[in-house]
């Protein structure tokens, strides 16, 4: 699975993995892919530094990247307290009622909320980047479009490529104009924030919109066959997130969540504003149902919703309150039925990819006779027309 | 594009096209694909007979099929009048108010409603099938899952294959158990009735669910690259509907609608109950907005909604009321920017498919060395390892 982009980055497979776990990112980079550590959950720059040190050590010299959540335009000087003050009292009561109804205890004395995403705050994201640029990261990805221009310049000065997620061709074009190097086209079926255009349609649209910039396809990709599909659509690689959640290297907040992921089908996710205020695909739970209920108050806009629910999500995770327990994950969750090492997953992906390409070559057999030999007919391996394989 | 299924049906390309227009179906069959005529709009069996005669004449001996909309279980003896009587008065008023607001005149005196789908009625669908079985149709497809068991048996007695649309792996499995021969896996991004699972995820799930029955992928497919993607996912062919709407052989009810389709982007469709009562992807219009508005009465269940809106849709089409004018169409509408003949479209599809497969073979280059020659390096056509192409 070698494309211009993977060649340029010096990796074996054009296989990019987003993960909040350094051990997963490192294992993927070691397996020939490209691990990208999600930074949004690091409120403390020292914690990020420690995990990037770990990632550097574990990755054995293979390249890796960092994913931040940074608005292109930020309001200077806005603190978390300023945003907290904007949350209506009725919404706070709705959260408490919901937790009470499910008998969710508070966090144990002295334990702080683990689920708290503040990486979108200007000063937090910039502190994260100061740490990142101290490390040999090769890619800086941003979940909210292009990072601010000075950050793009700073990355380029250091030879760091910049990637930006896009849910439409229009956004992809705008990102390209902001000087980024790679577009991650995130389809409707993806876990996390998504638009409504499916990967099958979005990928070629994004490719056409930003040509010659490379596009990574994201959403609906959890097998080698799906990688082949994404590359057939013109992507120069794939961006996988959900698939790593059930690897043995992942460290989910609770065993019950892993069990839920292993049991879930492709129809058990929902695109909901329940977690961040923007539509993000996640496991459908009592939590998402409550926020998506037209009779309820509905989710607040980003970033208010994320702040509003941070403690609640921590409590649900801490006490393993199964009916409310969820996580962002894509529709491929239906195919995540066993726990395997990252290496085993990558081996499966490359084998499935090769199998799919061989099948396609057979199907194309007569159409591109003379250029693709049919593996089903060794006698034809010398080249030349063959209509036999399908 | 030859698969086991296309081989069995004696067609050149595993390319199935659903269309309400006999001329489009015939042109596709003549171009090496497989045209499938949609029967749902034929209220009069004689009209269907005339169009099937035309299709037989135009297809020049190439095989073709018929698509019906038949519930697996029907309530005997229910007439259109019985269903009409179930429509609440408030909904009728909502329709009239909406048409008044947009100044939509009535149909001219003596002109009957053209948009009227009654094919779902037991007696109408059975009359359609009597006509169909008088013609050498090779495939009977059903949009609402498997047809009743006696119809499946009747089709099989005549050597007619039976296909059924499915929006989930669960439905696909149920259809297979009902004895059908082909599953059409209809992804979220498709035009018309769809579920919420995107083609990228649904196709391999359906393939695994009904193996060894063949699966046709539907939804998000309008280019050869997208066909390659669908076949990489394990489909034995593709089922295309939207793409034919802007071919020169199509006969849309108004020129304004063609213009709207040519101008629409991939984000201009919506999955709405506005037309039939079940979620169906279509152009987003003032009509769908009114029915999807939480402040409105909301759509009635199938088949009430279809009956309720039939005359209104005819009036909107007849008078080309552009803000309300729509049609079922998938997210690929963004790529439908020119009017071309069916033959030109098929040529494009096969060329794009070959191009995508060649690119994939180059990307797989090192991975499946020795089984697939790299077209970029003619010197390697003798077989053997090559890592050059990408």
Minimal C-alpha gap between B71 and chain A (Å)? 23
- CB-based contact A201 B2, cutoff 8 Å: no
Residue B345's pLDDT band, with cuts at 50, 70 and 90, is very high
- CB-based contact B373 A372, cutoff 8 Å: yes
Per residue in B234-260, pLDDT tens? 999 999 999 999 999 999 999 999 999
Residue A123's pLDDT band, with cuts at 50, 70 and 90, is confident
- Contacts of residue A77, defined as CB under 8 A and 6 or more positions apart, other chains included, come to A122
- Strand-pair partners of A192: A281
Global confidence as pTM: 0.92
Per residue in B204-242, pLDDT tens? 999 999 999 999 999 999 999 999 999 999 999 999 999
Tell which of A169, A364, A370, A379 to mutate to test the B interface (max B CBs under 10 Å): A364
In sequence order, what DSSP letters do the residues of B250-284 get, joined into one string?
A: ---S-HHHHHHHHH--GGGEEEESTTTSS-EEEE-
Residue B390's pLDDT band, with cuts at 50, 70 and 90, is very low
Q: What is the pLDDT of residue B69?
A: 83
**Cα–Cα distance between B232 and A360 in angstroms, integer?**
6
Calculate what percentage of chain A has a pLDDT beyond 70: 90
H or E segment at B122? helix B122-133
Q: Is the pLDDT of residue A367 over 60?
A: no
Per residue in B268-295, pLDDT tens? 999 999 999 999 999 999 999 999 999 9
Taking a C-beta distance cutoff of 8 angstroms, is the pair A162, A146 a contact? yes
Residue B370 with chain A: CB contacts under 8 Å: 381
Per residue in B60-69, pLDDT tens? 999 999 999 8
**Cα–Cα distance between A316 and A318 in angstroms, integer?**
6
Sheet holding A280-283, edge to edge: A192-193, A280-283, A269-272
Alpha helices, DSSP H, located in chain A:
4-9, 22-30, 45-58, 80-84, 89-101, 122-133, 149-157, 169-177, 199-210, 224-232, 255-263, 286-292, 304-318, 342-364
Identify the residue with better confidence: A371 or A195: A195
Q: Is the pLDDT of residue B103 over 90?
A: yes
User: Which two tokens mark A123?
Assistant: 């000063």
Q: What is the pLDDT of residue A388?
A: 35
Q: Is the pLDDT of residue B100 over 90?
A: yes
- Contacts of residue A46, defined as CB under 8 A and 6 or more positions apart, other chains included, come to none
- CB-based contact A189 B200, cutoff 8 Å: yes
Q: Work out the mean pLDDT of chain B and round it to a whole number.
A: 90
Q: What is the pLDDT of residue B174?
A: 96
Up-side HSE of residue B313: CA atoms within 13 Å toward CB?
21
Residue B368 with chain A: CB contacts under 8 Å: 354, 357-358, 375
Identify the residue with better confidence: A44 or B93: B93
**Cα–Cα distance between B214 and B227 in angstroms, integer?**
15
Residue range A2-17: mean pLDDT, rounded = 96
Taking a C-beta distance cutoff of 8 angstroms, is the pair B243, B20 a contact? no
Per residue in B358-369, pLDDT tens? 999 999 984 433
Q: What is the b/e burial string over A315-329, where b = at least 16 CB atoms within 10 angstroms of the residue's CB? A: bbbbbebeebbbbbb
Closest CB to B357: pick one of A195, A330, A372.
Answer: A372
Q: Is the pLDDT of residue A207 over 70?
A: yes
| Domains of chain B as residue ranges with CATH | 4-353 (3.20.20.70)
Per residue in B149-189, pLDDT tens? 999 999 999 999 999 999 999 999 999 999 999 999 999 99
Taking a C-beta distance cutoff of 8 angstroms, is the pair A29, A9 a contact? no
> ipTM of the predicted structure?
0.92
Q: What is the pLDDT of residue A120?
A: 63
Q: Is the pLDDT of residue B383 over 60?
A: no
Residue B388 with chain A: CB contacts under 8 Å: none
Lowest mean pLDDT among A76-90, A214-228, B42-56, B237-251: A76-90
Q: What is the pLDDT of residue A93?
A: 97
């Amino acid at each position: 699975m070698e494309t211009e982009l993977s060649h340029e980055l010096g990796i074996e497979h054009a296989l990019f993995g987003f993960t909040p776990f350094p051990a997963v990112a490192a294992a993927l980079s070691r397996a020939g892919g490209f691990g990208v550590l999600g930074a949004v959950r690091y409120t403390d720059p020292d914690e990020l530094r420690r995990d990037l040190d770990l990632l550097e050590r574990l990755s054995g010299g293979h390249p890796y990247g960092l994913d931040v959540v940074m608005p292109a335009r930020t309001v200077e000087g806005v603190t978390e307290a300023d945003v907290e003050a904007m949350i209506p009292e009725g919404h706070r009561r709705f959260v408490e009622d919901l937790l009470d109804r499910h008998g969710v205890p508070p966090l144990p004395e002295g334990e702080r909320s683990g689920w708290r995403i503040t990486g979108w705050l200007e000063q937090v994201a910039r502190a994260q980047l100061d740490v990142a640029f101290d490390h040999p990261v090769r890619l800086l990805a941003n979940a909210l479009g292009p990072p601010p221009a000075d950050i793009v310049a700073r990355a380029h000065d250091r030879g760091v490529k910049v990637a930006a997620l896009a849910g439409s061709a229009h956004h992809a074009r705008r990102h390209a104009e902001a000087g980024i190097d790679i577009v991650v086209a995130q389809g409707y079926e993806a876990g996390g924030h998504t638009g409504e255009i499916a990967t099958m349609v979005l990928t070629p649209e994004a490719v056409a919109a930003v040509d010659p910039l490379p596009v990574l396809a994201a959403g609906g990709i959890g097998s080698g066959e799906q990688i082949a599909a994404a590359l057939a659509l013109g992507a120069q690689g794939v961006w996988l997130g959900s698939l790593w959640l059930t690897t043995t290297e992942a460290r989910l907040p609770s065993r019950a969540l892993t069990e839920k992921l292993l049991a879930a089908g492709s129809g058990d996710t929902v695109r909901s504003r329940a977690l961040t205020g923007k539509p993000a695909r996640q496991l459908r739970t009592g939590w998402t149902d409550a926020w998506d209920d037209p009779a309820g108050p509905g989710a607040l806009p980003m970033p208010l919703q994320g702040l509003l629910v941070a403690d609640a999500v921590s409590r649900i995770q801490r006490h393993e309150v199964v009916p409310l327990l969820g996580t962002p994950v894509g529709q491929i969750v239906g195919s995540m039925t066993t726990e395997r090492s990252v290496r085993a997953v990558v081996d499966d992906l490359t084998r499935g990819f090769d199998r799919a390409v061989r099948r396609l070559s057979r199907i194309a057999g007569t159409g591109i006779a003379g250029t693709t030999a049919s593996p089903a007919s060794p006698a034809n391996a010398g080249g030349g027309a063959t209509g036999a394989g399908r």
